[in-house]
Amino acid sequence: MGLSQEEIFAKVQTVLVDALGVDAEEVTPTATLRGDLGAESIDFLDIVFRLEKAFNIKIPRGELFPEDFEKLQSDPNYVQNDSVTPAGVAELKKRMPYADFTQFEKNPKLENAPSLLTVDLIVKYIQAKIP
């Protein structure tokens, strides 16, 4: 397909504007899907459908947005005192190889985990997905 990062970003931006009803200017690389763009759980399926269509790709369940967070949360190896343990962070990194953990690792509170889901995560995933 040979799209540049800018071209991928532009398409991702359109997808998020359509799926979430936000303004294009709000969709910046660092914007978080939940906190900044107001995505709710059902929007993630909508985003996946729209990305598949926009880039003509298949996104297997859980590959872009990891599932079973609830199971992870209830595992004491991964979460203790509302904080994600080093083992938990390692597990998250395995499931979200395109996420930027720099900020999260400074304060790995469970409540901060949704901030890992950013626009840039989607762009990097798509970059890796298409040749």
Partner 1 sequence: MNPTLPCTMRWIWIDKFIEFTPRTSATAVKNVTLAEEHLHDLYPAFPIMPHSLIVEGMAQTAGILVGEARNFSEKVILAKVGKATFHRLVRPGDTLHYHAKILQLSEAGASIEGTVTLASDPATPTVAEIEMMFSHIDKNMAGVQFPEHNFVFTEQFTELLKTYRDGAVVTV
Task: Name the residue nearer to partner 1 (CB basis): 120 or 125.
Answer: 125
Tokens of 131: 């040749």
Q: Which is nearer to partner 1, 25 or 70 (CB)?
A: 70
Q: Quote the least distance from Cβ 40 to partner 1, whole Å.
A: 9
Shortest approach of partner 1 to residue 103 CB, angstroms? 25
Token representation of residue 117 = 């889901």
Ranges of H-type helices in the chain: 5-20, 41-55, 69-73, 86-95, 102-106, 119-129
Residue closer to partner 1 by CB (options 9, 65) is 65
Smallest separation (angstroms) from partner 1 to the CB of 6: 26
Report the alpha-carbon distance of residue 10 to residue 24 in Å, rounded: 9
> What does the binding site for partner 1 look like in residue numbers (CB under 8 A)?
18-19, 41-43, 45-46, 48-49, 52-53, 61, 67-71
> Cβ distance 59 to 48 under 8 Å?
yes
